[in-house]
């Protein structure tokens, strides 16, 4: 590596102030600091510093996302192939290589567009502000594709990423300064700007929409909806036996028969690219919690909040959404993915230890509330997390105020 180091030394003068490529310094610095930890030394305060830096922290999150990515690629490939009639009844674990390659062909462009657009904008802002790339987007750039439906047009991914990076982050000052989660900003942007491309039953499998338009018979009787979207249909058309109106508990029974707990937990169901597998998310959670990058407090309380809300809704009952067993809520949709990768974003989450518990609990609680009580938003998780992002400073305010009050009380007793 001496060769590369020498080359960097040789090139450095061109990029520092007064050099001929001065303007490109942020780009140069980003490359150089990626390849080599820079030779910066402590100049004030503690003379030694811990090994951790933001690069390693962010790289750990990306590592934690890899199970979701790999499973997402496979799952996307599976459902893409299932769209064609010939493969309709292909077992899930058959033709794995072909499915993985098919999935790769769909997912990789989305990942590339997300990173390309996002990093491009980050560099632009870096050049304007004169700093190298800050690492935050390395994670956002991976999260954005994983929250997208498989059939999303690439230009939308690009547009959403640009919106999220500029409006969600850079206008606040960049990495560490944003108010709401970047990846969810991108998701929310598309959800509200292009609802037909982000929900319904055509978008979750690549190619299904086209088929429905050109050759509807070929996909007759084949549902492309997510488990959540499909739940309602068990009440009406699918579940009717000889024209009778079906009780909601029967609808739920039919639903859990179609989407077994095992399949839902493993993620062998249609959905956004990276969100379907609770199993893959939990592997990621293990990495995050063990390394201390993700907050166990948030993850656990998020699950607890969702579960308790599910139980409460079970008590009320009356329609399939309300009657769905509480644990099902945790394994379908983007609940686990949101709890583990979105809610734990330290910049937008609560910053105090107690605050994290409240924040996570309310997040999970609201996610299921929105999911069940507002049929317009079957996927309430991202809305709940965005809402809690906004609320996090208020939660922290009360925790900090508690700390301040303890001090004031001490002063009074003296």
Partner 1 sequence: MSNTISIRKGLNIRLVGESTKEIKDIPVSNTVCLSPLDFHGLIPKMLVKEGESVQVGDAVFQDKKNEKIKFVSPTSGTIKQIVRAEKRKIVQIIIESDSKHSCKKFNVKKIADTSREEMLNILLESGIWPSFKQRPLDIVADPSNEPKGIFISSFDSSPLAPDYSFILRDKMEQVQMGLNALNQLAKGKVHLSSRKNSDFTKMQNVIHHNIDGVHPAGNIGTQIHHIDPMNKGEFAWSINIQDVAAIGRLFETGVLDGKKCIAVGGSEIKNPAYYNIHCGSLMSDLLKDNVAGENVRYISGNVLTGDQKNADDYIGFYHNQITAIPEGNEYKFFLTKGWLGLGFDKFSNSRLFPTFLLPKSKKFTLDTNTNGEERAFVVTGELEKVFPFDILPMHLTKAAITNDIDGMENLGIYEVAPEDFALCEYVCTTKINIQDKIRQGLDLIASECM
Stretch that binds partner 1, among 49-57, 94-102, 156-164, 310-318 (CB under 8 A): 49-57
**Considering the complex, what minimum distance in angstroms separates the CB of residue 163 from partner 1?**
22
Sign, Cα dihedral of 22, 26, 32, 33: positive
How near is the Cβ of 160 to partner 1 at its closest, in Å? 23
Which residues contact residue 17 at a Cβ distance below 8 angstroms, ignoring those fewer than 6 apart?
A: 25
Contact between 136 and partner 1 by CB under 8 A: the answer reads: yes
- Interface stretch with partner 1, choices 30-38, 185-193, 236-244, 329-337 (CB under 8 A): 30-38
Nearest to 332 by CA among 187, 179, 230: 230
Least CB distance from residue 25 to partner 1, whole Å? 13
Min. distance of Cβ 171 from partner 1 in angstroms?
Answer: 15
Nearer to partner 1, 52 or 171 (CB): 52
**Contact criterion met (CB below 8 Å) for 273 and 76:** yes
By CB under 8 A, tell whether 129 contacts partner 1: no
Examine residue 414 and tell whether it contacts partner 1 (CB under 8 A).
yes
Per CB under 8 A, 86 contacts partner 1 = no
13 binds partner 1 (CB under 8 A): no
Output 38 or 216, the one with its CB closest to partner 1.
Answer: 38
d(CA 282, CA 280) in angstroms, rounded, equals: 5
Residue 27 within binding range of partner 1, rule CB under 8 A: no
Alpha helices in 194-337 (DSSP H): 195-198, 208-214, 227-231, 248-258, 261-266, 278-291, 296-316, 320-323, 326-331, 335-337
Instruction: Give the separation between CA 331 and CA 324, rounded to whole angstroms.
Output: 12
How far is Cα 196 from Cα 213, in angstroms, rounded to an integer? 14
Minimum CB separation of residue 353 from partner 1 in Å reads 7
- Distance of closest approach, residue 410 Cβ to partner 1, in angstroms: 6
Query: Which residues within the stretch 53-82 sit at the binding site for partner 1 (CB under 8 A)?
Result: 53-57, 59-60
Are the CB atoms for 76 and 150 separated by under 8 Å? yes
In this chain, which stretch among 14-22, 216-224, 252-260, 288-296 interacts with partner 1, using CB under 8 A?
288-296
Q: Which is nearer to partner 1, 139 or 372 (CB)?
A: 139
In whole angstroms, give the CA distance from residue 149 to residue 208.
12
Q: How far is the CB of 337 from partner 1 (least distance, A)?
A: 21
Q: State the binding string over 148-187 for partner 1 (x if CB under 8 A, else -).
A: -------------------------xxxxx----------
109/405 Cα distance (integer angstroms): 53
Radius of gyration of the chain (CA): 24
Residue 46 near residue 126, CB atoms below 8 Å? no
For the segment 235-274, give every residue that binds partner 1 (CB under 8 A): none
Binding flag, residue 44, partner 1 (CB under 8 A): yes
Q: Which is nearer to partner 1, 65 or 82 (CB)?
A: 65
Rounded to a whole number of angstroms, the minimum distance from the CB of residue 1 to partner 1 is 4
Tell me which residue of 88, 26, 37, 89 sits closest to 59, measured CA to CA: 37
User: Which segment (47-55, 163-171, 331-339, 360-368) binds partner 1 by CB under 8 A?
Assistant: 47-55
Q: At what angle do helices 136-146 and 154-163 cross, to 10 degrees?
A: 140
Instruction: Please report whether residue 48 would count as binding partner 1 according to CB under 8 A.
Output: yes
Residues 6+ apart with CB under 8 A from 392: 348, 349, 350, 351, 355, 359
Contact footprint for partner 1 (CB under 8 A): 1, 4-5, 8, 33-57, 59-60, 132, 134-136, 173-177, 290-293, 295, 346-347, 349, 351-353, 356, 400, 403-404, 406-407, 410-411, 414
């Amino acid at each position: 590596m001496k060769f590369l180091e020498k080359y960097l030394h040789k090139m450095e003068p061109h990029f520092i102030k007064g050099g001929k490529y001065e303007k490109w310094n942020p780009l140069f610095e980003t490359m150089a600091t990626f390849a080599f930890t820079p030779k910066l030394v402590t100049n004030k305060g503690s003379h030694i510093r811990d090994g951790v830096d933001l690069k390693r922290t962010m790289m750990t999150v990306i590592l934690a996302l890899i199970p979701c990515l790999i499973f997402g690629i496979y799952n996307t490939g599976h459902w893409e192939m299932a769209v064609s009639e010939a493969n309709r009844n292909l077992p899930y674990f058959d033709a794995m290589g072909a499915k993985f390659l098919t999935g790769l062909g769909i997912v990789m462009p989305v990942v590339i567009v997300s990173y390309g657009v996002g990093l491009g904008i980050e560099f632009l802002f870096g050049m304007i502000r004169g700093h190298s790339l800050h690492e935050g987007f390395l994670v956002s750039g991976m999260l954005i594709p994983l929250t997208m439906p498989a059939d999303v047009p690439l230009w939308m991914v690009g547009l959403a990423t640009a919106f999220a990076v500029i409006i969600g982050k850079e206008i606040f000052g960049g990495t560490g300064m944003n108010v709401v989660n970047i990846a969810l900003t991108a998701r929310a942007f598309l959800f509200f700007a292009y609802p037909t491309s982000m929900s319904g039953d055509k978008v979750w499998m690549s190619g299904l929409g086209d088929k429905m338009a050109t050759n509807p018979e070929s996909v007759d009787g084949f549902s492309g909806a997510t488990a959540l979207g499909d739940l309602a249909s068990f009440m009406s058309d699918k579940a009717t036996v000889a024209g009778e109106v079906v009780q909601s508990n029967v609808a739920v029974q039919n639903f859990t028969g179609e989407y077994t707990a095992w399949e839902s937990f493993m993620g062998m169901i249609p959905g956004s690219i990276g969100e379907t597998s609770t199993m893959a998310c939990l592997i990621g959670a293990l990495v995050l919690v063990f390394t201390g990058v993700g907050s166990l407090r948030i993850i656990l309380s998020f699950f607890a909040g969702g579960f308790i809300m599910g139980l409460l809704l079970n008590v009320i009952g009356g329609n399939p959404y309300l009657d769905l067993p509480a644990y099902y809520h945790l394994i379908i949709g983007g609940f686990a993915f949101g709890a583990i990768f979105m809610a734990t974003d330290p910049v937008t989450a609560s910053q105090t230890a107690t605050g994290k518990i409240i924040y996570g609990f309310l997040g999970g609680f609201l996610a299921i509330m929105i999911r069940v009580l507002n049929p317009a938003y079957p996927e309430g998780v991202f809305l709940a997390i965005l809402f809690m992002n906004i609320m996090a400073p208020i939660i922290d305010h009360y925790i900090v105020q508690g700390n301040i009050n303890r001090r004031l009380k001490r002063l009074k007793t003296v």
